[in-house]
A and B are shown apart, each in its own frame.
Chain A
Amino acid sequence: MAIRAFLIVLSCLAAATCRGATFSSLQQTLIVTASPQPAQVLKAGEDEITVTWSLNSTFPAGVDSSYKTVTIKLCYAPISQKYRGWRKTVDNLVKDKTCQHKIVANKPYISSSSNNTFTSTVLRDVPTATYFIRAYAQNSEGDEVAYGQTTDSHKAVNLFEIQAITGRHVSLDIASICFSAFSILSLFGFFFLEKRKSKASESK
């Protein structure tokens, strides 16, 4: 009796955490293509990505009746997820960390057009890694209902790389050297000055 009550409480808790949509429940109804060629290396902050998406016409009409907006993201390929638990792929989309960088955010979905395109420069906070591109179709509540991606289901083909900015600047390097030199010089300056003063007072 107590065990049953415990299991009910446990399942309620589990259900609460599983409120988000799961990736495996999504239909792959979108076709997505992007400008980066396989194994091409793009530079963050400089190069552009052009993404084109459309509905896969092999699906019955009306499958996209609930699609209201489209969000397109850069997603990590498995090789960039290795040894990096903070990029883990999880079925629950609320907890999934595969796609962390947005290219297009909540653009309205136009079902009639088969030529949706967007071009943007790779942002400067995108890290060095291997990526593919995925588009999510969202309903009016913002929940994901369908997707499409530039790679296959194993995430093994059509991957490209992005080279991040280093974050270093010549001005920072120079400032760093200046302050370090100041620290060392003032320390030894003090030391030898005091030594000389005490020698002078001793000899008096």
Chain B
Amino acid sequence: MDPDAVAKAFVEHYYSTFDTTRAGLANLYQDTSMLTFEGEKIQGSQSIVSKLTSLPFQQCKHNITTVDCQPSGPAGGMLVFVSGNLQLAGEQHALKFSQMFHLMPTPQGSFFVLNDIFRLNYA
């Protein structure tokens, strides 16, 4: 399958899960996964999902502007670099963000997030 198509499909799945059933993100991470969220470092699926579900907003919508991807090496991993904006319910202005994922293949033929770094882009 075309890597760009895989990256795009993953990104759509990730953000739609985030925006509708945030706790469902748990099966996209494993124990070795690392998230750096606005500079805070978190490791492991449980801690990561705990962080994401305790963010100070209930509803949000990610709108993706750009998706770039590259293969990361012989293990079949993919680096995905996303930029877009994040609309929080009740807020007038959307927040701009950039995020990178390092996806690794699972034996079942899908991907999990090994590395995840998120940053808001302030004006």
Is A bound to B?
Answer: no
Chain A contacts to B: CB under 8 angstroms:
none
Chain B contacts to A: CB under 8 angstroms:
none
